[in-house]
Homo-oligomer: A and B are copies of this chain.
Amino acid sequence: MSPESRLPHPTPLVAAIPPMTPFVAPEELARRVGRTELLRLGANESAFGPSPRAIAAMRDAVALTSWYGDPESIALRTALAARHGCTVDELVIASGIDDLMGLIVRAFCGPGDACVATLGTYPTLFYHLNAFGARAEFAEPDERGGIVPDAIVDAVRRSGAKLVYVANPDNPSGGFVDRATLASLREALPSDVLLFLDEAYADFVSRDELPSDVVDPRTIRTRTFSKAFGMAGARIGYAIASSDVIAAFQKLRLHFGVNRTAQIGALAALDDDAFLRGVVAEVERGRAEYHALAAAHGAPSLPSRTNFVCIGIGTRAQADAMVTALLELGVFVRKPWAPPIDGYIRVTVGTATERAAFAERFAEALDGVREKAAR
Q: Which residues of A contact B (CB under 8 A)?
A: 3, 6-15, 17-23, 25, 27-28, 31, 40, 43, 45-50, 54-55, 58-59, 62-72, 74, 95-96, 98-99, 102, 106-110, 113, 130-131, 162-163, 190-194, 217-218, 226, 230-235, 242, 244-245, 247-248, 250-252, 254-262, 265
Contact = CB atoms under 8 A, between A and B. Distances in A.
Nearest to A60: B59
Nearest to A12: B110
A113 B8 CA distance: 14
Contact of A65 (B18, B193, B252, B265): B265
A357 B55 CA distance: 34
A232 B67 contact: yes
A253 to B, nearest CB: 9
A193 B102 CA distance: 27
A252 B14 contact: yes
Contacts of A250: 19, 21
A10 B108 contact: yes
Task: State the 9 A-B residue pairs at the shortest beta-carbon distance, nearest first.
Answer: A233-B260, A8-B194, A11-B110, A66-B230, A259-B259, A27-B70, A58-B62, A10-B248, A65-B233
B231 A11 contact: no
Chain A contact residues: over half helix, strand or loop, or mixed?
loop
Given A14-B107, A192-B6, A255-B22, A65 B40 contact: no
Given A10-B107, A113-B11, A257-B96, A62 B55 contact: yes
A62 B55 CA distance: 6
Nearest to A48: B66
17 contacts: A6-B192, A9-B108, A11-B107, A11-B109, A12-B110, A17-B251, A23-B71, A25-B71, A28-B70, A45-B66, A62-B62, A66-B231, A95-B95, A95-B257, A233-B260, A235-B257, A235-B258
A162 B48 CA distance: 49
Contact of A218 (B8, B130, B244): B8
Contact of A257 (B40, B98, B226): B98
Most buried by B among A20, A55, A65: A65
A178 B94 CA distance: 38
A19 B50 contact: no
A98 B12 CA distance: 23
A65 B49 contact: yes
A63 B54 CA distance: 9
A349 to B, nearest CB: 12
Contacts of A9: 108, 192
A245 B66 contact: no
B66 A46 contact: yes
A70 B10 contact: no
A254 B193 CA distance: 26
A25 B70 contact: yes
A233 B45 contact: no
Contacts of A71: 23, 25
A39 B214 CA distance: 40
